[in-house]
Amino acid sequence: MHTSRAVARRQEQREELKAEMREAARAIFVRDGFQSLSMRKLAAEIGYSAAAIYLYFPSKEHLFHSLVEESFSRLSDSLAGLADEPSTSPVERLKRGGRLYVRWGCMHPNDYQIAFLLPVPLSGPYKTHQAFQTLRLLVVACLPAAGARDKRAETATQSIWAALHGITSLLIQRPSFPWRTKESVIQQVIDSAVDGAVTRSSRRGTHGGRNGRAR
């Protein structure tokens, strides 16, 4: 066995072990919460020393990031799949996307929390924002191809994202809050955000002058 044959095989095993580490890490923080995931515990779980992990991930934060990336990539795919689905209307599709987002967050609380706990990585477009871009597509489909569609789509997407993020993170972090009904609040948030930003939009400038300026 010579030359590149061996090196390729090594590369392959490297990737396998890396995946095994990710898997074990996910298993631990799904079981015990991500707060209590330490490098030594993870190492013990897979039968290596703690130092070994650093041969595959440069830091704990990078390891976490790779987990989150993996997860958000799947969320993004789900959202993208929605765009092609024959549904009643673009608005209905967008709302469906919103419900998907919230539900996904609630089903992957660790991933979701870590994603918004970690400082945004040093550079490059990353999966969290890819999910945002997918959402944006759903929004654009709702807007008429009129004048400043891009700018309007941007504001609309960002404000909808904010609303979705708000209810998602609250449901995760305050599960025992006396929610009126989780479902009804989710729906109210989504309907308001979407209707307000996309269907009856454009007209702005209520809250006008009077006295106090906001800001």
Partner DNA sequence: CAGAACACTGAACAGTGTTCACTGTTATGA
Partner DNA sequence: TCATAACAGTGAACACTGTTCAGTGTTCTG
Sequence-separated (6 or more) residues with CB below 8 Å from residue 182: 171
47 is in the binding site of which of DNA, a copy of itself, none (Cβ under 5 to 8 A by kind)? Answer: DNA
Give the residue carrying structure tokens 């330490």: 38
176 is in the binding site of which of DNA, a copy of itself, none (Cβ under 5 to 8 A by kind)? Answer: a copy of itself
Sequence-separated (6 or more) residues with CB below 8 Å from residue 179: 171, 185
Of 4 and 211, the one with the shorter C-beta distance to DNA is: 4
Q: Which of residues 19-38 bind DNA (CB under 7 A)?
A: 36-38
120 is in the binding site of which of a copy of itself, DNA, none (Cβ under 5 to 8 A by kind)? Answer: a copy of itself
CB of 6 vs DNA, minimal distance in Å: 3
What number of CA atoms fall less than 13 Å from residue 2's CA on the CB side?
0
Quote the tokens at residue 93. 């599709």
Sequence-separated (6 or more) residues with CB below 8 Å from residue 44: none
Residues forming the site for DNA (CB under 7 A): 1-7, 9-10, 13-14, 17, 36-41, 43, 47-52, 54-55, 58-61
